[in-house]
Homo-oligomer: A and B are copies of this chain.
Amino acid sequence: MTENSYEVRPIGRVESSLTDRATAPRQGDEGAPDAWLVFQEDVHEGLRDLRAGEEVILLTWFDRAARDVLVVHPRGDLARPPQGVFTTRSPDRPNPIGLHRVTILAIEGPRFLVKGLEALDGTPIVDVKPVLAQDAAER
């Protein structure tokens, strides 16, 4: 890596019935299917305190996104005026990190079933974080 870049190393992959970006839901609460998070063996120890029923924040890397995009039509709708990408959740952005708040439905060893995830099949997982009160609260 150069001095001014860093290496993201996936810790797992999404297994989903979604394979086509054009028809995928825009957000998890818009009819996205349940999906499996399949974690690599080398991070299992870090997952040991997660439980079914909990909500977590999942970070993914949109590996099929365009990174040279700074202005987009929100939700891909050409009828809407273009907006700076940092006021949208477009996957096309300089660092295509996906942010998803999901509920864990079941855990089977290294496989975690989560509710309503809009990420495509094969999407790399880069982090899992607990939800904190400050994520939700007005400050």
Contacts and interface: CB of A to CB of B under 8 A. Distances in A.
Interface of A: 1, 4-11, 27-29, 43, 45-50, 55-57, 59, 61, 63, 70-71, 83-89, 93-95, 97, 99, 101, 103, 115-116, 124, 126-130, 132, 134-139
A100 to B, nearest CB: 9
Given A46-B86, A85-B46, A101-B134, A95 B9 contact: yes
B6 A94 contact: no
A12 to B, nearest CB: 10
Given A130-B87, A132-B89, A134-B28, A8 B50 contact: no
A75 to B, nearest CB: 12
18 contacts: A4-B9, A5-B7, A6-B10, A6-B61, A6-B124, A11-B94, A46-B85, A50-B86, A50-B87, A86-B129, A89-B130, A97-B126, A99-B99, A99-B135, A101-B135, A103-B139, A135-B136, A136-B137
B28 A43 contact: no
Contacts of A11: 94-95
Given A9-B95, A94-B11, A46 B71 contact: yes
A104 B103 CA distance: 29
A99 B1 CA distance: 23
Given A46-B86, A50-B86, A86-B50, A97 B139 contact: no
